[in-house]
A and B are shown apart, each in its own frame.
Chain A
Amino acid sequence: EVQLVQSGAEVKKSGESLKISCKGSGYEFTSYWIGWVRQKPGKGLEWIGLIYTGDSDTKYSPAFQGQVTISADKSIDIAYLQWGSLTASDTATYYCVRPLSRWGNFPAYWGRGSLVIVSS
């Protein structure tokens, strides 16, 4: 069974750094990209970017380029999303996702989400 297990909720202050994680299991981790999606409270879904876990190549949505960093450690099947300096506008739930097939271009499997709360 494909599973994406995300790290727990975080409460941080503006200016602090943060790294959240997403562990893939039940499949060959390096055969599928992992993407990240943001959802602000009461709002819609926004694509952040993805990492090709085989070679760690990353692609970011223009809106998030330079704002976050996506990485992965294929030795332990974990992908990461990190911020160098959080702001209140980063308050949201962040989902990691995986496509249905190796060549898929849409999210099919979703983690349960990591809630990030940033106080100013």
Chain B
Amino acid sequence: SYVLTQSPSVSVAPGQTVKITCTGNNFGKKAVNWYLQKPGQAPVLVVYDDSVRPSGIAERFSGSNSADTATLSISSVEAVDEADYFCQVWDAENEHPLFGGGTKLTVL
């Protein structure tokens, strides 16, 4: 079955740029979506279709997708960006959304 792999954690200093990656087979053919989740809250969609930001999401969030790796970039990182980040694609074999394991972003 299809598997999405994310690094468990990443840390960054305030004001820097962080890249959170998600890997899977033949990624370039799949649309990747990204969510952030803060403790005790529901996930929030921050990027969809690889690189589109929903309304209300800061321009600091951007996404890209290559053959095997999708990347969520957050520029000028702020303390409020500290959260878990999940990637997601459509699992065509099982006909349902599939989530990566999540990456915990720590702002130093």
Contacts of B45 in A (CB 8 A): 100, 106-108
Give chain B's interface secondary structure class. strand
Contact count band on A: 20 to 34
Closest partner residue, chain A, to B100 (CB atom): A44
The answer to whether A110 touches B44 (Cβ under 8 A) is: yes
Tell yes or no: A9 within 8 A of B by CB. no
Report the count of interface residues on B (CB-CB < 8 A). Answer: 22
Q: What 0/1 readout, one digit per residue, does chain B (86-108) give for beta carbons within 8 Å of chain A?
A: 10101000111111111000000
A21 to B34: give the CA distance in the assembly, Å.
26
Q: Which of A45, A61, A62, A105 touches B43 (beta carbons < 8 Å)?
A: A45
A61 to B43: give the CA distance in the assembly, Å.
20
Q: Which of B42, B88, B97, B101 touches A112 (beta carbons < 8 Å)?
A: B42
Contacts of B94 in A (CB 8 A): 61-62
Tell yes or no: B15 within 8 A of A by CB. no
Assuming the A-B contacts A108-B45, A110-B44, are A44 and B90 also in contact, with contact meaning beta carbons closer than 8 angstroms in the complex?
no
Contacts of B98 in A (CB 8 A): 47
Assuming the A-B contacts A62-B94, A106-B88, are A45 and B42 also in contact, with contact meaning beta carbons closer than 8 angstroms in the complex?
no
The answer to whether A44 touches B101 (Cβ under 8 A) is: yes
* B32-58 residues at the A interface, CB under 8 angstroms: 33, 35, 41-45, 48, 54
Closest partner residue, chain B, to A35 (CB atom): B97
Given A61-B94, A100-B48, A106-B48, 13 more A-B residue pairs with CB atoms under 8 Å apart are: A44-B99, A44-B102, A45-B86, A47-B97, A47-B98, A49-B96, A106-B31, A107-B43, A107-B88, A108-B54, A110-B42, A110-B43, A112-B42
Enumerate chain A interface residues (CB-CB to B < 8 A): 35, 44-47, 49-50, 59, 61-62, 95, 100, 105-108, 110-113
Q: Top 10 nearest A-B pairs by Cβ distance?
A: A110-B42, A45-B99, A106-B33, A105-B90, A47-B96, A44-B102, A44-B101, A47-B97, A108-B45, A61-B96
Enumerate chain B interface residues (CB-CB to A < 8 A): 31, 33, 35, 41-45, 48, 54, 86, 88, 90, 94-102
